Structure 1
Amino acid sequence: MNGTSFPLPRVRLINPTFERSTVASKRQNQKTIPSFHFKASSCERKMMSRRRRNCREKKVEEEEPIGGDMEDLFSEKDTHNIRMSLLDWYDDNQRDLPWRKRRSETEKERRAYEVWVSEIMLQQTRVQTVMEFYKRWMHKWPTIDDLAQASLEEVNEMWAGLGYYRRARFLLEGAKMVVAGREGFPNKASSLMKVKGIGEYTAGAIASIAFNEAVPVVDGNVIRVLARLKAISANPKDRITIKNFWKLAAQLVDPSRPGDFNQSLMELGATLCSVSKPSCSSCPVSSQCRAYSLFQENRTIPVTEYPTKVVKAKPRLDFCCVCVLEILNQTGGRFVLVKRPEEGLLAGLWEFPSVILDKEASVAARRKAINLYLKETFHVDPKETCTIVSRKELGEFVHIFTHIRRKIYVELLVVQLTEGGTIDLFKGEAKDTLTWKCVDSDVLSTMGLTSAVRKVYSMVEAHKQDSSVPSNRTVISRKRRIT
């Protein structure tokens, strides 16, 4: 096969006496040799044939649903009943959400933009939280052309509080990409997936809701509904299982109302078919639900057994010391903020100077790490560029990211620059390439900061209210070392 040779399986004869006598008689009876090789070759061919057949069967098994409970699609009758029941229920019970406004045929692209923004916001965020963010967003950028003119700074400020900031950056980059293309808003799921930040789910939602394309959507709510309808116990995180959920969802999509049907499926999962307390008695498709049927037969198997619970990997633990650096001058105090790298966790966002540690450390060790960072990055040196007004440990807290559990130590360092210190601090920095900046408290309170950064600043504000920190206008007459 393509010039590649595979070693043939070694044939072991059952009868050792026959094996020895055959080999020993090679010289005496040459007629036995062809017969022996013929039998061996025949056996080898059978084994190779069996191996190829097993490989083909294994390949088929990998392509088919796993777990033994996704072996068939919905019947034609069930498909029809589920479509009709869900659409009727949705027409009567859909929630009044700001992104569900009906648009005319001439406003499909605007509708697509609205669906896009809402779906990105709704990823890993509750509906009630998203509603106000969505309204403010649409007030500021009502069309995709408006968004394409925005800066990342503006977008992050508007997004502050929603978390998972990479979503906002991809939304902005995707908008710029669509507008720059000058071909209008992509109206097919396949073309939508070429846009930055739009995956299979979001593409399906936009294409079906805004452009009436009969394509499925599969999110956590849809997986839960389908897993219960079919009583699927296979791992819902498994790649092949997910692929088959898409097959089931594709079969159910109503060709005449694909957008409404997809929304009805998601709505059912978000309301009645909840994770822990499903309202099966009110469910419009309970008569087609295999999990509910099993529960009625055996009360020890609740509907909530589906989908199968997957144990999440424990987040790794790391440690971070944050230094809130406040620089005093004749008019007041300003805080130093650092811009994170454009890739990775919290990309492009502003935060207070910080150092990540690989293990828990003492106050002395933390301060040593911060001192080195401040000196190398900002030229903050008590012997040359600044006078230390005060330095105070404010406390610590734990912040949870998706895959990281971070223990954050917070300190406030107030300094006053010596003569020439300001020049050294800002030396060589151009406005369009700043990776850090100084802002006053009024600006800081309006910036798009992460919840962790806001919590750090809240600790600073609380400390300032409770302590007797010298006034910002106080003239310092002596130096203190950073310890």
Structure 2
Amino acid sequence: MDDLIGSKAAAAITTANYKRPRRTSRNQTHQPQDSMKDVVGSKMEAEAAVITTTIKKRPRRVRPTKSKPKEEEEALKEVDMEDLGFCGNEILEIRAFLLEWYDRNQRDLPWRRICRGDDEDGSDRRAYDVWVSEVMLQQTRVQTVIDYFNRWMHKWPTICHLARASIEEVNEMWAGLGYYRRARYLLEGSKKIVEGGGVFPKTVAALRKVPGIGDYTAGAIASIAFNETVPVVDGNVIRVVARLKAISANPKESVTIKNFWKLAGQLVDPSRPGDFNQALMELGATVCTPLNPNCSVCPVSNHCHALSLAKQNKSAQVTDYPTKVVKSKKRHEFSAVSVVEILDGQDMIEELQPDGRFLLVKRPDEGLLAGLWEFPSVLLGVETDLATRRYAIDQFLKKSFNLDLKKSCTVVLREDIGQYIHVFSHIRLKMYVELLVLRLKGRKNVLHGKPESETKAWKSVDSKALSSMGLTSGVRKVFSMIQKFKQNKSEPIPGKARKRKTPSS
């Protein structure tokens, strides 16, 4: 049982008291809460026969044996989780208690205010709202998402409105949410749906064919908007189910994840699948939290095996489930970032003024931060000194934009601004930031024309336009460093002495 009960809990459980999974019988002293007796009593009588007997299988008794090959261990782990399926009465009580709790305690969120429509237009509108909200909520806190969702819906109230948007507009709206691939998939998916007639797919199978919609998002849309009886499994659901069944198998392994989907599928209420899925996720987000679960107010605490084990053994805790997985170390990368500002006109200016145009480069359409705009930068293999970084930037500017710092322009200012560390999910990027102020010779400003590089898309914008663009938080941080440097700069730019006022006679 080590894979499923955990080393702490295993010591507290004897073979005798684990022969049969704990379940509530009508003849036992435990009864549903008083407010739910009428709801659950007759419903269990009528629906218990519908629950298949396959989920009532008696757990296999695992005896200590010699170590098994990895393949056999994985197979055993899968069988054990299947054996820990929910039984008929347990399913009915969890459904009833959880839905009653959700009806009384659900948070007031804008994407839940959309009226459920019986007509096709109403269902499609709800599907669109669910889609956008669920995509935004991936890897992002609810409080952060609320404002983004409201602004998004004000600009693109329907999927047809979104399909007419440009990627630049979408990125501008998304700026600050991170994981920008999500925004691109929303746009691509909306275009495909509109091109196919504008009718939202209504089943998980059909939704999975839309770019960017995976199992989780498909299940959320199908159950919440179209009442399909399908599960939804995210981190919150995994945590709740793992504690209900005291499952300590690695929640990141594919076999374990598949079994969590099966267990969640057993629980879904066929009469209110969307509400039930939201209730399960809500429970994980607000009560059954990762570090401080509030078991005293949990509506299904009587069915929680993790809580039962914690009461039996002081060394066991509810937070032992699911198993903590050691995160892989982030890859360290380094880059030289040059904020290139092109000054207009021929006259040298005394001090830094926001009258130049900034050079922006578009990232490739695939990979990290695909299709987004950034300042010219060069990835470095390792940490390097200032001279090496500047040489790399000089070569990049010359190759990509025909900007030769010695021949085609005058360097008005080149200042090392500082360093900034930007953390992605799997990368720790250290950026060395410089400000490079240039004045082109011969009044030839190539930045006002078309890009001369066939493979590198670029544009030049003034500071006002740059501030309103959909830039990543990393690029915004770099620009903020530049603005702060300019504000604190008191010395004049070399090239022209400060004029002194002549005393009046």
TM-score by length of 2: 0.79
Query: Is the Cα–Cα contact under 8 Å of residues 394 and 405 in structure 2 kept in the other structure?
Result: no
Q: How much does 1:468 deviate?
A: 3.4
Q: How much does 1:299 deviate?
A: 1.9
The equivalent position to 1:369 in structure 2, one of 392, 409, 421, is 392
The equivalent position to 1:444 in structure 2, one of 466, 472, 475, is 466
Matched, 1:91 2:114: no
Cα distance in 1 for partners of 2:384, 2:313 equals 55
Query: Is the Cα–Cα contact under 8 Å of residues 174 and 196 in structure 1 kept in the other structure?
Result: yes
Q: How does 1:48-447 map to 2 (within 5 A)?
A: 62=74, 65-66=77-78, 68=80, 71-101=83-113, 102-106=115-119, 107-182=122-197, 184-330=199-345, 332-423=355-446, 425=447, 429=451, 435-447=457-469
Identity of aligned residues (%): 61
Cα distance in 2 for partners of 1:435, 1:151 equals 16
Q: How much does 1:422 deviate?
A: 1.2
Question: Residues 233 and 70 (structure 1 numbering): CA distance in 2 closer, same or farther, change over 3 Å?
Answer: farther
Q: How much does 1:72 deviate?
A: 2.5
Cα distance in 1 for partners of 2:496, 2:358 equals 17
The structure with the larger Rg is 1
Q: How much does 1:473 deviate?
A: 12
Question: Residues 470 and 146 (structure 1 numbering): CA distance in 2 closer, same or farther, change over 3 Å?
Answer: farther
Q: How much does 1:65 deviate?
A: 4.1
String of CA shifts for 1:215-257, please: whole Å, max 9, x gaps. Answer: 0000000000000000001000010000000000000000000
Question: Residues 67 and 458 (structure 1 numbering): CA distance in 2 closer, same or farther, change over 3 Å?
Answer: farther
Question: Residues 446 and 350 (structure 1 numbering): CA distance in 2 closer, same or farther, change over 3 Å?
Answer: same
String of CA shifts for 1:116-171, please: whole Å, max 9, x gaps. Answer: 00000000000000000000000000000000000000000000010000000001
Greater shift after overlay, 428-437 or 325-334?
Answer: 428-437
SS at match of 1:182: coil
SS at match of 1:445: helix
Question: Residues 64 and 201 (structure 1 numbering): CA distance in 2 closer, same or farther, change over 3 Å?
Answer: farther
Question: Residues 205 and 345 (structure 1 numbering): CA distance in 2 closer, same or farther, change over 3 Å?
Answer: same
Cα distance in 1 for partners of 2:434, 2:455 equals 28
Question: Residues 270 and 379 (structure 1 numbering): CA distance in 2 closer, same or farther, change over 3 Å?
Answer: same
Match of residue 47 from structure 1 = none
Cα distance in 2 for partners of 1:347, 1:267 equals 32
Query: Is the Cα–Cα contact under 8 Å of residues 67 and 233 in structure 1 kept in the other structure?
Result: no
Cα distance in 1 for partners of 2:386, 2:367 equals 28
Cα distance in 2 for partners of 1:279, 1:168 equals 35
SS at match of 2:477: helix
Cα distance in 1 for partners of 2:454, 2:126 equals 35
**Unaligned ranges ≥5, structure 2:** 1-68, 346-353, 498-505
String of CA shifts for 1:397-456, please: whole Å, max 9, x gaps. Answer: 211111111111000000001115314x56653999971000000001101111110110
SS at match of 2:83: coil
Greater shift after overlay, 335-344 or 174-183?
Answer: 174-183
Q: How much does 1:281 deviate?
A: 0.6
**Unaligned ranges ≥5, structure 1:** 1-56, 476-483
SS at match of 1:105: coil
Query: Is the Cα–Cα contact under 8 Å of residues 329 and 473 in structure 1 kept in the other structure?
Result: no
Cα distance in 2 for partners of 1:59, 1:147 equals 47
Q: In the alignment, residue 188 of structure 1 is paired with which amino acid?
A: T
SS at match of 1:329: coil
